[in-house]
Amino acid sequence: MKKDFTPTLLDFGNIQIYLARHFGFCYGVENAIDIAFRTVDENPGKRIFLLSEMIHNPQVNTDLQEMGVQFMQDTYGRQLVPFENLTKEDVVIIPAFGTTLAIEEKLNAIGIPIEKYNTTCPFVEKVWNRSEQIAKKDYSIVVHGKPAHEETRATFSHAAANTPTVVVNDMQEAINLGKYITGETPAAEFYAEFKGRYSHNFDATKDLQHIGVVNQTTMLASDTQAIADYLKQLMLQTYQLNESNIAARFADTRDTLCYATNDNQSAVYGMLETAADLAIVVGGYNSSNTSHLVELCEEKLPTYFINTSEKIISPHQIVHYNFHTREEVITSDFLPSQSPVKILITSGASCPDAIVEDVIEKLIEMRGAHKTVDTILKEYQAV
């Protein structure tokens, strides 16, 4: 069934908010948060650790820390609490994006069960399972993801346990990888070019002859599809294949894309068809899926990436994150003075809806809007 991706108009008179049809929390994040809070309830008096941030949301992570949960690693894999400090009496929660086999082994060796409080999202596990299936048919895996991201490290580790695996960050890297498939670049150069991105014993002369592409589920689905299409095309040409026999060298993995990432991204495409003055994207600054939503919006109009309503300082000033330079910047006169001002709003998969509501409240309050959120809600309920 075709989904509707037109945004919802919240018309406050002098300010019109176009809210993306799908935004915010996905199943995986809700599930992870539920399990994490249950873990705290079920283990009074025990030390509870999270392998790393639960999800890329500062509020949720702060709430958990205030309940006594400690993070073992930061988002870049730097160790905050050494594994040697753990005992079998401790509880360790595995985050939504999963973890590497090496870390699972470490926890098992200490005697900490990993199944009970494992919040790995089923859609991430689906990628691992699909990798395993195609590995059994002797395909190597190309992972499209950010090499340092926890989920990519975890997916790489699970795939590499079964088959030769390499990570590409973007289309340019896929093009560079493709040159080893066609033989345009000598195989010997692969190891320096993809240093730290390929599995043990990867043989560039033969391990790129049968491949399948999977992704870090929060990458732009259209980018992953473009990379898969590009590599498939190379295989068709290099081995003189056609659609009826391409499967011999290129595995179809389209079914591994996460529905939530897809829906939130498609809803942004739908939202961007509305002519507006600016866009606000709400989410954690280190959230991959949120930064992709920002990327889509900023191609079309001025876009402000914020993590709380407090970043809207006044009708004249906003503090927002530039994810390209990884710093917060201040922009003046971000809110045009004409009436009505039209604003597109969406949020990432790990952003609670309450934060989006706060942002809307703040905007309408600053603009002295003609209607309140309650009035708008009543109008909707009356329809």
Contact string (CB under 6 A) for ligand SF4, positions 322-361, x = contact: ---------------------------x------------
Pairing label, strands 140-144, 303-306? unpaired
Tell me the window of 71-79, 258-266, 310-318, 321-329 that interacts with ligand SF4 (CB under 6 A): 258-266
CB-wise, 178 or 284, nearer to ligand SF4? 284
Alpha helices by DSSP H, listed for 137-204, are 150-160, 171-182, 190-193
Among 23, 49, 123, 128, binds ligand SF4 (CB under 6 A): 123
- Ordered strands of the 165-168 beta sheet: 165-168, 140-144, 211-215, 250-251
The verdict on 283 binding ligand SF4 (CB under 6 A) reads no
Q: Catalytic pick from 53, 151, 173, 295?
A: 151
Structural contact between residues 297 and 276, judged by C-beta atoms closer than 8 angstroms: no
For ligand SF4, the binding residues in 220-249 under the rule CB under 6 A are: none
CB-wise, 258 or 355, nearer to ligand SF4? 258
| 73 DSSP assignment | B
Among 10, 15, 29, 134, binds ligand SF4 (CB under 6 A): 29
Give the nearest distance from C-beta 158 to ligand SF4 in angstroms: 14
The verdict on 28 binding ligand SF4 (CB under 6 A) reads yes
The verdict on 261 binding ligand SF4 (CB under 6 A) reads yes
Give the nearest distance from C-beta 371 to ligand SF4 in angstroms: 33
For ligand SF4, the binding residues in 140-179 under the rule CB under 6 A are: none
First to last CA, the chain: 24
The verdict on 276 binding ligand SF4 (CB under 6 A) reads no
Question: How far is it between the farthest Cα atoms of the chain?
Answer: 68
CB-wise, 29 or 360, nearer to ligand SF4? 29
Give the nearest distance from C-beta 320 to ligand SF4 in angstroms: 23
Pairing label, strands 8-11, 15-19? antiparallel
Helix, strand, or coil here: 28?
helix
Strand partners, 175: none
* 151 part of the active site: yes
E strands in the chain: 8-11, 15-19, 48-50, 70-71, 91-93, 140-144, 165-168, 211-215, 250-251, 278-282, 303-306, 312-314, 317-322, 327-332, 341-347
- Cα 177 to Cα 173: distance, rounded to the nearest angstrom: 6
Give the nearest distance from C-beta 348 to ligand SF4 in angstroms: 9
Give the nearest distance from C-beta 300 to ligand SF4 in angstroms: 23
Among 10, 15, 112, 124, binds ligand SF4 (CB under 6 A): 124
Helix, strand, or coil here: 36?
helix
For ligand SF4, the binding residues in 83-112 under the rule CB under 6 A are: 96
CB-wise, 119 or 307, nearer to ligand SF4? 119
| 281 DSSP assignment | E
The verdict on 51 binding ligand SF4 (CB under 6 A) reads no
Dihedral sign for Cα 367, 369, 374, 380, please. negative
Closest CB to ligand SF4: residue number: 28
**Residue ranges binding ligand SF4 (CB under 6 A):** 26-29, 96, 121, 123-124, 217-218, 258, 260-261, 289, 349
Active-site positions?
A: 151
